[in-house]
Chain A
Amino acid sequence: MANNIAKLDIQNLNALFYEKHALKNVNVKIPDKMVTAVIGPSGCGKSTFVRCINRMHELVPGAKVSGKVLLDGVDVYGGMDVMDVRRKIGMVFQKPNPFPNMSVADNVVAGLKLVGTHSKKELAELAEERLKSVGLWDEVKDELKKSGASLSGGQQQRLCIARALAMNPEVILMDEPTSALDPASTAKLEELVKKLKNEISVVIITHNVSQAARISDCTAFFYLGELVEFDETRNIFEHPKNPLTERYITGRFG
């Protein structure tokens, strides 16, 4: 891990939600082209943490953020326009949210089609490429015109990943992407995540500790708004340094 460049350098990150101090002085370096899992009990701040990375947390009324999040050295809070931040750092949510008024193909390229002047051919090619990379192409290639919401849950989630990937982001954030899916779809998605790290960095929140163990290279453990431990996954699970970490992983709480 020490050999890998840090894609995201998070320094002194503090997040407030009204009076609640949701994140306390988080310092961590997320490595490039690896899967980083974020684990912890409910309410520990993992969702807030991840949303601070692509500046989604500040949209919540009463939210305040301080600190730095450096993407390849540039602070997303001030070094670049917030829309660019979100194009470079994609996000997939817990509940799949394809746009129901658009076809499958249009969903994939929505981030480009709505804001640019691309030709139909370019968009179609991009849609095909991205659907292939998430393993959806064969399943939907005859139904590209159908509404994005007409797919099954697992397919919808992969569609959302394809949609995020179409923006060619450098990091992709995933907020418990499999918690709403059945086991078969979950397995497919985990395979996909492992494949993705060859292209981009993945940060994945999961409440399922064994999932973190299965798919991630590094793991960050949060508790009550603080980053308790961050290390290679192997180390976290085999010999955690913090007793809190050990208790969480062995299921004694959370």
Chain B
Amino acid sequence: MAIISRRGKERLIKYLCFLVTTVAVIPLLWIIGEVVVNGVSAINLEFLTSLPAPFGESGGGIGNAILGTMIINAMACLFGIPVGILTGMHLSEYDLTSRLGAVVRTVVESLSGVPSIIFGIFAYSLIVLTVRHYTAIAAAFALGLMMIPLVAKATEESMRVVSNDIREAATALGIPKWIRTTKIVLSIAKGGVLTGCLLAFARISGETAPLLFTSLFSFFWPTGIDQPMASLQVLIYNYAMSGFENWILKAWGASLLLVIIVVSINVLVRSLTKPKYKGGA
């Protein structure tokens, strides 16, 4: 029958699986290593607070990109989080089997699979082409749209698991439905909603494609939300593709900042969430 014994096969498979796991993990450690090693040397106070130096010169910083990212992300949250929560609330509390609910749910699911560049094109077409110039608002719109399905799903799922006994108790006290939904059910679910928002925020912090033709880029401090604006992501892209040493170094520095933000949020979310039991044996 088999040349290798069953036990031998078991051991072989075990090592193979371990091997591919290592193969998968190595790039992660490598990337983080490169980002840290290359980026750390770029980061100093000037880097964090000043504008880019004139082309070809050394020095300068990415202060405008940091500020720009904060502004754009904040605007995106202003749009995406409320819409996402309200939609999720609707799906969980006000809609069990209606057709509108099915449609909304399908749309939300579909939205979560749409490539990020399409959101950028959407914003480009809707806003940039209409006002005839690049604007940070369009970027915020695109990113906000991306947040909606993530926040809505997290909200719906967190509210859905709230025991129906609670709703019954509230109804039996004569508490109006909207108060029950917001002050009781949502309040109980707020942990899940919060982690959903945090993860959505981490997600959009890393998205570059939607910004490429909306907020574009700028070498100056943000002048207005209706103007192009620098961002960490687009900076990394532009600078990395440029081929200039100084710029590539800055790109690594910006990458380090971005990785720190994204990793911190993920670690934070993990610590807030009850660990799911995983594993078979």
Q: Does A115 make an interface contact (CB < 8 A)?
A: yes
Instruction: Report yes or no: B165 in contact with A84, Cβ–Cβ below 8 A.
Output: no
Q: How far is the CB of B81 from chain A (nearest CB, A)?
A: 20
Instruction: Report yes or no: A101 in contact with B173, Cβ–Cβ below 8 A.
Output: no
The secondary-structure label for the interface of chain B is helix
B residues at A contact (CB < 8 Å): 96, 163, 165-166, 168-176, 179, 183-184, 187-188
Q: Does A87 make an interface contact (CB < 8 A)?
A: yes
Q: How far is the CB of A10 from chain B (nearest CB, A)?
A: 19
Q: List 27 A-B contacts (CB under 8 A).
A: A56-B171, A56-B172, A59-B171, A83-B175, A83-B176, A84-B174, A86-B171, A87-B173, A87-B174, A90-B172, A93-B165, A95-B165, A97-B168, A97-B169, A99-B166, A99-B184, A99-B188, A100-B166, A100-B188, A101-B187, A110-B175, A111-B175, A114-B179, A115-B176, A160-B169, A164-B172, A167-B174
- Provide the bound-state CA to CA distance between A101 and B183, in Å: 9
Residues of B within 8 A of A71 (CB): none
- Provide the bound-state CA to CA distance between A77 and B175, in Å: 18
Q: Which of A61, A84, A90, A99 has the most CB of B within 10 A?
A: A99
Residues of B within 8 A of A91 (CB): 172
Residues of B within 8 A of A97 (CB): 163, 165-166, 168-169
Q: How far is the CB of A96 from chain B (nearest CB, A)?
A: 9
Q: Which of B172, B175, B179 has the most CB of A within 10 A?
A: B172
9 residue pairs, one from A and one from B, having the closest CB atoms: A111-B173, A86-B174, A97-B165, A87-B174, A91-B172, A97-B169, A83-B174, A101-B187, A101-B188
Residues of B within 8 A of A7 (CB): none
Q: Does A158 make an interface contact (CB < 8 A)?
A: no
A residues at B contact (CB < 8 Å): 54, 56, 59, 61, 83-87, 90-91, 93, 95, 97-101, 110-111, 114-115, 160, 163-164, 167
Residues of A within 8 A of B184 (CB): 99, 101, 114
With CB as the reference atom, state the residue of chain B lying closest to A166.
Answer: B173
Q: How far is the CB of B147 from chain A (nearest CB, A)?
A: 25
Residues of A within 8 A of B171 (CB): 56, 59, 86
Residues of A within 8 A of B176 (CB): 83, 115
Q: How far is the CB of B94 from chain A (nearest CB, A)?
A: 13
Contact of B169 among A85, A87, A99 (CB under 8 A): A99
Q: How far is the CB of B97 from chain A (nearest CB, A)?
A: 8
- Provide the bound-state CA to CA distance between A29 and B214, in Å: 71
With CB as the reference atom, state the residue of chain B lying closest to A111.
Answer: B173
With CB as the reference atom, state the residue of chain B lying closest to A160.
Answer: B169
Instruction: Report yes or no: A114 in contact with B183, Cβ–Cβ below 8 A.
Output: yes
Residues of B within 8 A of A164 (CB): 172-173
New A-B contacts (5) at CB < 8 Å, excluding given A61-B96, A91-B172: A59-B171, A97-B163, A101-B188, A111-B173, A115-B176
With CB as the reference atom, state the residue of chain A lying closest to B97.
Answer: A61
Q: How far is the CB of B155 from chain A (nearest CB, A)?
A: 16
- Provide the bound-state CA to CA distance between A56 and B173, in Å: 11
With CB as the reference atom, state the residue of chain A lying closest to B184.
Answer: A99
Instruction: Report yes or no: B174 in contact with A56, Cβ–Cβ below 8 A.
Output: no
Residues of A within 8 A of B183 (CB): 114
- Provide the bound-state CA to CA distance between A87 and B176, in Å: 11
Residues of B within 8 A of A95 (CB): 165
- Provide the bound-state CA to CA distance between A127 and B173, in Å: 15
- Provide the bound-state CA to CA distance between A236 and B96, in Å: 44
Residues of B within 8 A of A54 (CB): 172
Residues of B within 8 A of A90 (CB): 172-173
Q: How far is the CB of B117 from chain A (nearest CB, A)?
A: 41
